[in-house]
Amino acid sequence: MKISAAESVVMEALWRREPLAAEEIGAEVAAGQGWSEATVKTLINRLLKKGALSATKDGRRYLYRPKLKRAAYVQAESQGLIDRLFDGRLAPLVSHFSEQRKLTAEDIAELKKLIAEMDR
């Protein structure tokens, strides 16, 4: 399932807290993005059509919940990035950040710890 950057903003709001009505989603994301209520509703409808959200009638409104799990989305997006930019390999990605001086001492310590755990 392909989720656009704008749609991911709506999904993040729902991953943080669910269920939410359209107005609640709008209150959480619209101002920060410069979106109107209509834009938020368009994004919700797109996500419904894609099957990323479910909707439950609650009186005169609908409550929305994510059907797509955040972990599955992050996995697909991460793998897509690595495939597109680094030929499916993780080491060149880490090397890129290292060369650009984007890795902090804390990042390096965490990577060393992960590698040590993987070696066990």
Q: Kindly report which listed range (12-16, 50-54, 63-67, 111-115) carries the lowest average pLDDT score.
A: 111-115
Nearest 5°: phi and psi at 62? -115, 145
Residue with tokens 């209509």: 38
pLDDT, one tens digit per residue, over 5-53 is 999 999 999 999 999 999 999 999 998 999 999 999 999 999 999 999 9
Question: How far is residue 62's CA from residue 85's CA, in Å, rounded to a whole number?
Answer: 40
pLDDT, one tens digit per residue, over 67-87 is 999 999 999 999 999 999 999
- Exposure on the CB side of residue 39, measured as CA atoms within 13 A: 14
**Class for the domain spanning 5-66:** mainly alpha
Higher pLDDT: 58 or 95? It is 58
* pLDDT for res 113: 94
> Where exactly are the structural domains of the chain?
5-66, 70-119
We find that the CATH architecture of domain 70-119 is Orthogonal Bundle (1.10)
In the chain, what's the furthest Cα-to-Cα distance? Answer: 56
Q: 82, 90 in Cβ contact below 8 A?
A: yes
* Contacts of residue 54, Cβ cutoff 8 Å, sequence gap at least 6: 48, 64, 65, 67
* pLDDT for res 101: 76
Question: How far is residue 10's CA from residue 17's CA, in Å, rounded to a whole number?
Answer: 11
